[in-house]
Amino acid sequence: MALAHTRRLNKELAEIHAGTPVGINLVNADTFEKWLFTIEVMGTSEYEAKKFLLMFRFDNTYPISAPAVQFVVDDTHKAPVHPHVYSNGHICASILGREGWSPVLTVIAVCITIQSMLASCKKKEPPLDNDRYVPRAPENPKKVSISLMVSPLLA
C-alpha cells in the first residue's frame, strides 16, 4: 500500500495537473522524492522576464515536516539575487523552517510564497552573511545546523 506521504503528494499532483497559478509551472514530478517548478514573477518587478528553477525534495515525514526547497544553481540556472536567497540557491523563508511550517501547507502554497517574496523585493542584493554561509552550508537546506542559521531577517 502506498505510503501516507506519497498518497498526499499524489493528491497535490492531481491538483497541479488541473492547473497552477500564473507564473508557476511544473517541470518534472517523475518521482515522489523530487519535483521541479519554474517560477516567474508577473508584472513589473526586479525579476521581470526571468525564470528560476525551484526544487522540492520530500521524505516520508512530509507533510508533518517541511519539504527541502531551494533554487537550482547549475550551468544554465541561477538563483535570484535577493536578500533572503543565498547564492547556492538556499532560501531563508519562515514557512520552510520548523517553526513556520504547517502540515496544511502545500507545494503550490510554498511556490506562491516564494513568488511573492521575489515580487515584493525592492533592492536586489544577496544576504548579508552570504559569504559566510555558502561555503559551510550542507547540500540539503534542511540539514543546516543552528549555528549557521543567523537569519538575514534579523541581521
Partner 1 sequence: MSKRNRLQSLLDSSIADPSDFPQRELGHLDSSLTCKICREFYRGPVSLSCGHCFCSLCIRNSMTSKQECPVCRKCANEGQIRPVAALEEIVESWKAARALVLTLATANGESSRLTPEESISAIAGPSTPNKRRKLVSEDGLIDCPICHTFVPFDAINMHIDSGCKSTSTPSKPKQKAEWSKVFSKRSKDSAQESDPDRRLPKLNYHTMKEKQIRELLSQAELSTAGDKNALTARHQQWTILYNSNQDRSASQRQDLERIRKELKKWEAEGKARKVDIDDTDEYQRLHKQDFIELIERARRSRFHSHKPQSSRGREGGSPIEEPEVSEVTDPIEVD
CA 121, 127, 133: angle at the middle one, nearest 5?
Answer: 150
Asked if residue 1 binds partner 1 (CB under 8 A), the reply is yes
Asked if residue 12 binds partner 1 (CB under 8 A), the reply is yes
- Binding to partner 1 (CB under 8 A): which residues in 102-131? 102-104, 131
* 142: nearest Cα among 96, 102, 93: 96
Q: How far is the CB of 18 from partner 1 (least distance, A)?
A: 5
d(C-alpha 155, C-alpha 151), whole Å: 6
Identity of the residue, 57 or 119, whose beta carbon is nearer to partner 1 in the bound complex: 57
Asked if residue 31 binds partner 1 (CB under 8 A), the reply is yes
Q: Which of 138, 149, 151, 153 binds partner 1 (CB under 8 A)?
A: 138
Q: Examine the residue annotation and report whether 121 is marked as an active-site residue of this protein.
A: no
Q: How far is the CB of 85 from partner 1 (least distance, A)?
A: 18
Residue 52's φ and ψ, nearest 5 degrees, are -120, 150
Asked if residue 10 binds partner 1 (CB under 8 A), the reply is yes
DSSP state of 9: H
Dig out the grid coordinates for 146 from the structure.
543552528
Give CA 28 to chain center in angstroms: 15
Q: Going residue by residue from 66 to 95, which x/- string records binding to partner 1, judged by CB under 8 A?
A: ------------------------------
d(C-alpha 127, C-alpha 135), whole Å: 14
Active site positions, annotated: 92
